[in-house]
Amino acid sequence: MTLDRRSLLGLIGAGAATPAVAKSANTGKVAFLHGVASGDPGSHSAVFWTRVTPEAGAGGDVAVTLEVARDDAFRDVVRRVSNLKAGAERDFTVKHELDDAVLRPNTDYFYRFIANGVTSPVGRVRTLPEAQTPDVVLAVVSCQLYPGGLFNAYDAVSKLERVDAVVHLGDYIYEYGAAAGDYGMDHGARLNRIPEPPHEIVTLADYRTRHAQYKTDRDLQAAHARAPFICVWDDHEVANDTWNTGAQNHQPESEGDFSIRKAAALRAYYEWMPIREARPEALKEAIQRTFHFGDLASLIMVETRLQGRTEQLDYARDLTFKPGQDGKPVPDVEAFMAKRADPSRDLMDDAQRGWLQGELRASREVGRPWQVLGNQVVMARVAGPNVADMMPPEAVQGFLESLPESVRAEVALSVELFRLGMPFNLDAWDGYPTARERLYRAFKAANVQPIVLAGDSHAFWVNDLKDDAGERRAVEFGASSISSPSPGDAIGGGFPLGQLLTATNPEVVFCDQSAKGFILLTLDRTTARAELTAVSTILAKPYQTRVLKSWQVTRDAVGLTAPVEV
C-alpha cells in the first residue's frame, strides 16, 4: 500500500494534520489518575510531567498550573507557571521544562499541578550538583512487565533514604496482549493485572492506552514522585527485538509498515515520559544525551536499538548444518561465528560512536573520575553454560524432563548449542562482537574505563569487560527486572543457571538469573559501589528487601580495579 504524507500523519497521530481551530476551555471535573513525574534534571533545570484526565465526554483544553516550591507544604513557592494546557493532541499529558536561575544546583524541590481547582499529588525533584561533589546515589532499574508481577521494587525505591536520580534502562512498557499464552499472563491472570488494550499494541491509541495503564500503578507513581527519572528506551517500547528497520515481533503482513508503528510508539513515549522533547532538527530516535553530576561523574545515556542496530542473528534462521564425521548433519559453528563477526553488523552507527567518544573524552579532560554508560543490553562475553560437561547425562535428561512442556524443546536446543560454545544472548552486545571491539577502541581513544550499566536481561550481573587483547576496558553492573520473567524462572529456581554462567565465562564475576529488584549505585571520589537489591516476591504484599550482593570497584592512577565483593 502506498501512503502519502496526509495518510501517514493520519495513521500515527489523531489530529496531527488538523489545522488549528479555536477551542473552548474545559472547566469541568478533572482528575490526576497517573501521578506526577520529573526527569532529565540539570543543575538549574528539570522536566515536569503529569496527565490530566477530564470528565468523559468533555471537550476543549484544560488549563494547568505548575508550582515548584522549596517545601512540600508549598509555603515557599519559587516558580508558578500558569500558561500550560492539557489537550487531546497530546493525550491530555502535560510536560514542561523549567530551565532558569531560580532552581539552584544540588537542591531538593517539590512540585505539583493544579487544574480546574483540583491539585495533583506532590513530587520531589533534585537538581544536579554543579561544583565539587563528594558522592552521588543512583537507583538503576529496567524491565517492568505489568502482568508479570507487582512493582514492589518501585515501592522500595520510593522509600530509599537517599536517591539522587533513577536511571531507567528501558522496557518501561511491553507490547504484548492479554491472551492466555501471552507473555507474563500466567501471573497477570492471577493478579488481575490484565494488559490494556487486551491485544498487542500497534497504533498510537494502543501505545497511549498501554502507557496510561502502567502509570496507574501506585508503586511506579511513588517512585516517580520520589526522584527524577533519567530514561532511555530498549526494544519493548516498540516491539520485541527491534533493530533500525524492523523487529522480531512485527509482522508487516498483518501489522503494517514498521516505520508507522515505530513513529506511533515514539510519539506516545515522548508524550507519557518525563524526558526532554527531541530537538526540531534531530531524529526522534536520537535519545542519547549526557548528565553531569558536578565534578564527580558523567552519566552518558546511549541508544542501541533504533538508529544504528542491524538485525539480530537467530539460531533457527542463521545456524546452518554440515555433514559430520558419521555423515549426519552437525551445526556449522565456524560459519555461524563468521556471520556473527561480520564487520557490517552493529548496535551503533559511526556518528553515535563518535559522539560517545567525544563525551567520554570531554568528561575525563575536565577531571571527572567517573564516566557511566546508561546502556541497554549486556556487554560482556557470555557463552551459554555447557551443562553437558558439568552434569552427568542422566542429570541433564532429568532436568529437561522436569521442565514445563512449553519450554522443554527450546531449553534442549540451548543445551546442545551451548555445548558447542555458542553465545547465551544474540540480542546483546555478544551477538555483535566486532561492534563491541569498535566500542572498546572508542573507550581506549578517550582514555577512559567507564562503568557500564545494563538492563534487558532480567538478571543481575557483575562483569569485568575485556577487549580481544585481554585488556580491561570497563566494569559492568547489570540490573535485573522489576517484574519481567527471568530465565531462571522458566527453568526452575533449583537450577543454578547464574552459577553456571559465572563458572563458564571469565568476564562474568557474578550472575543471578532469578532475583528481581534494582541496583543502588553509589559513587564517591575513588569508589563505585553497586548494591544488588532484591525484593522477596513480586506476587504479593507485603514483601521484604535485601541486598543480594554488594560489589565495589576502585579507580586508581592506572584505571579501574576488578570488582570485589564487599
CB atoms within 10 A of CB 469: 8
Spell out the SS3 assignment of 246-260.
EECCCCHHHHCCHHH
Q: Evaluate whether 508 touches 563 at the Cβ level (below 8 Å).
A: no
Please tell me the distance from the alpha carbon of residue 220 to that of residue 166, in angstroms, as a whole number. 12
H or E element that contains 487:
helix 487-491
pLDDT of the residue at 8 = 35
Assigned domain for 368 exists:
no
pLDDT of the residue at 2 = 35
Beta bridge partners of 99: 45
For every residue of 172-220, DSSP letters joined together read SS-----STTSTTHHHHHHHT---SSSS---SHHHHHHHHHHHTT-HHH
Closest CA to 111 of 140, 84, 144: 84
Measured CA distances, 525 to 296, 405, 471 (Å): 7, 51, 24
pLDDT of the residue at 429 = 98
Measured CA distances, 218 to 25, 213, 233, 418 (Å): 30, 11, 22, 41
Assigned domain for 560 exists:
no
Which residues of the chain fall below pLDDT 50?
1-22
Domain count, the chain: 1
Question: Which amino acid is present at 512?
Answer: D
Q: What is the pTM of this model?
A: 0.93
Measured CA distances, 202 to 172, 469, 550 (Å): 16, 44, 41
Assigned domain for 199 exists:
no
Closest CA to 538 of 129, 146, 216: 146
Q: Evaluate whether 91 touches 271 at the Cβ level (below 8 Å).
A: yes
Output the domain CATH number for residue 102. 2.60.40.380
pLDDT of the residue at 279 = 84
Q: By CB neighbour count within 10 A (0-12 exposed, 13-18 middle, 19+ buried), where does 9 fall? A: middle
pLDDT of the residue at 333 = 94
Beta bridge partners of 136: 523
CB atoms within 10 A of CB 14: 16
Assigned domain for 283 exists:
no
Assigned domain for 108 exists:
yes
Residue 414's φ and ψ, nearest 5 degrees, are: -65, -40
pLDDT of the residue at 394 = 78
All three cell numbers of 16, joined, read: 496531527
Per-residue pLDDT of 473-526, as tens digits, reads 999 999 999 999 998 887 765 678 899 999 999 999 999 999 999 999 999 999
Q: Evaluate whether 531 touches 520 at the Cβ level (below 8 Å).
A: yes
pLDDT of the residue at 76 = 98
Cβ neighbours of residue 325 closer than 8 Å, sequence gap 6 or more: none
Assigned domain for 94 exists:
yes
Per-residue pLDDT of 131-179, as tens digits, reads 999 999 999 999 999 999 999 999 999 999 999 999 999 999 999 999 9
Assigned domain for 153 exists:
no
Question: What secondary structure letter does DSSP report for 563?
Answer: P
pLDDT of the residue at 492 = 65
Per-residue pLDDT of 36-92, as tens digits, reads 999 999 999 999 999 999 998 778 999 999 999 999 999 999 999 999 999 999 999
The b/e string for 482-498 (b: 16+ C-beta within 10 A; e otherwise) is bbbbbbbbbbeeebbbb
The bridge status of strand 229-231 relative to strand 165-168 is parallel
Q: Evaluate whether 381 touches 507 at the Cβ level (below 8 Å).
A: yes
Query: Range of 97's domain?
Result: 25-127
pLDDT of the residue at 388 = 74
3-state helix, strand, coil in the chain (%, to 5): 25, 25, 45
Closest CA to 140 of 227, 41, 222, 216: 227
- Residues of the chain with pLDDT > 90, as a percent, come to 82
Assigned domain for 177 exists:
no
Q: Is the dihedral of CA 243, 249, 252, 256 positive or negative?
A: negative
